[in-house]
């Protein structure tokens, strides 16, 4: 058996990161962080690009209708049908020098969120743990 590699999407991001797979919808999500875009591509479908209007880097599924997105000002709940973002929990919202970075959902459901300096400088950023609420 021979394995093969192919291009999943030919969309060029300025800073493409934060891939996350949703098995419930068979969809991969990722971000063009600098340009404030959420990219959504079902494994058997066309690419959709959502303009978030702010830097974002990570996504977690809440349920069929909502997603939790780590952004430069905090955790936002995104309505899947409308794309509307609602700030749920501010994270370093008062610090314009930082943004969200690598984040993951733990098997227990906790969302680990990292922040970093937008200029990639040392000493900026922290790690946060968001669980049940």
What is the reported pLDDT for 121? 82
Report the mean per-residue pLDDT for the chain: 93
Given the candidates 2.120.10.30, 3.40.50.720, 3.40.50.620, 1.20.1740.10, the CATH classification of the domain at 16-130 is 2.120.10.30
Report yes or no: 71 and 53 within 8 Å, Cβ to Cβ: no
If we measure between CA atoms, which residue out of 86, 72, 78 comes closest to residue 114?
72
Strands (E), 7-126: 16-22, 27-32, 37-42, 48-51, 56-63, 66-71, 74-79, 85-90, 98-105, 111-117
pLDDT over 80 at 71, yes or no: yes
Percent of the chain with pLDDT over 90: 86
What is the reported pLDDT for 7? 86
Residues recorded for the chain: 133
Q: Give residue 19's pLDDT band: very low, low, confident or very high (50, 70, 90).
A: very high
Instruction: Kindly state the tokens that stand for 64.
Output: 């069929």
Write the pLDDT tens digit of every residue in 1-14: 678 888 889 999 99
């Amino acid at each position: 058996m021979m394995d093969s590699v192919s291009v999943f999407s030919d969309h060029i991001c300025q800073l493409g990161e934060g891939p996350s797979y949703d098995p419930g919808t068979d969809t991969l999500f990722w971000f063009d962080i600098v340009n404030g875009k959420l990219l959504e591509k079902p494994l058997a479908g066309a690419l959709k690009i959502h303009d978030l209007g702010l830097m974002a880097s990570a996504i977690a599924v809440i349920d069929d209708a909502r997603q939790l997105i780590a952004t430069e000002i905090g955790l936002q709940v995104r309505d899947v049908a409308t794309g509307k973002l609602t700030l749920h929990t501010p994270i370093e919202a008062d610090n314009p020098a930082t943004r969200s970075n690598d984040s993951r959902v733990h098997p227990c459901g906790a969302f680990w969120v990292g922040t970093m300096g937008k200029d990639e400088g040392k000493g900026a950023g922290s790690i946060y743990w968001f669980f049940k609420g």
